[in-house]
Amino acid sequence: MLKSRKELDAELGGAARAWLDEALAEAAHDAARTEATHDAPGPEATGPCTSPPWELRYAAAGRHCGLEHADSVRSLLLVEARASLPSVTRLYEQGTAAERRAVLLTLHRLDLGDTAVPLVEDALRANDTRLVSAAVGPYAADHLDPHAWRHAVLKCLFTEVPVAAVARLSHRARGDAELARMLGDLAAERTAAGRTVPEDLRTVLALTAPAEGAQQAPPTAAPAAPAPTEES
């Protein structure tokens, strides 16, 4: 989904490509500067006047490179700048939904360990499906604890974010009896309400089966009635 520099270069027009070149150079410059002063205690840039120039480029990416490329451009900037936790936190907290999304999509490509988990947790509290789908990527697969990860999967089912967005779903779901229980309860609740059981629920439930062919309870039978249209 995210495009590489080479792919972007092939798709962007001349002005946008030049803008991206300058933006990435600024990000690389900031990474080098941070590297050079790494051991020296100094104030982190915290405000609009002290933020490094590439962070302003980060905000403006959509209008210079096109909304369809904004995720990719912002992600490249974060990687090029080797963005630190204070930097990604600031960009997330002060960002539009689109800017937050690009942070979430890039966390696994930055050297952050598990320190950025609060950003993922924040996104999983949102109801904006652009944020929810971006929050369940590889970083969440690596760092969310079992309880938070199971709730992230359920959140996808509730907000109709396709579970295909959940990174390493089959790996983490395998043999997860608690997730299977939660999915079974959700199916029962839907059935009791005369609502359809999402196909994705069956998909995930099947994945919770233990690897060695142990038995897993089948999902509650789906009702034939159509789902209401207001919510699902």
> Count of residues for the chain?
232
Regarding 100 and contact with other proteins (CB under 8 A), the answer is yes
Which range binds other proteins by CB under 8 A, 15-23, 80-88, 142-150, 153-161? Answer: 153-161
Q: Which amino acid, residue 179?
A: L
Give the integer Cα–Cα distance in Å for 228 and 140: 31
Min CB(217)–other proteins separation in Å: 24
Regarding 232 and contact with other proteins (CB under 8 A), the answer is yes
Q: Per-residue b/e over 144-172, b at no fewer than 16 CB within 10 Å?
A: beeeebbbbbbbbbebebebebbeebeeb
Regarding 1 and contact with other proteins (CB under 8 A), the answer is no
Which range binds other proteins by CB under 8 A, 77-85, 135-143, 160-168, 202-210? Answer: 160-168
Regarding 159 and contact with other proteins (CB under 8 A), the answer is yes
Min CB(156)–other proteins separation in Å: 9
How many residues bind other proteins (CB under 8 A)? The answer is 34
Min CB(46)–other proteins separation in Å: 11
Regarding 191 and contact with other proteins (CB under 8 A), the answer is no
Give the integer Cα–Cα distance in Å for 208 and 221: 17
Find tokens 């030049």 and name the residue: 18
CB 163 within 8 A of CB 204: yes
Cβ closest to other proteins, residue 157 vs residue 209: 157
Give the integer Cα–Cα distance in Å for 142 and 176: 16
Min CB(111)–other proteins separation in Å: 26
Span 40-69, contacts to other proteins by CB under 8 A? 47-49, 51, 56, 59-63, 67
Which residues, including other chains, have CB under 8 Å from residue 134's CB and lie 6 or more apart?
A: 100, 101, 102, 104, 105, 123
Residues forming the site for other proteins (CB under 8 A): 47-49, 51, 56, 59-63, 67, 70, 94, 96-100, 126-130, 132, 155, 158-162, 229-232
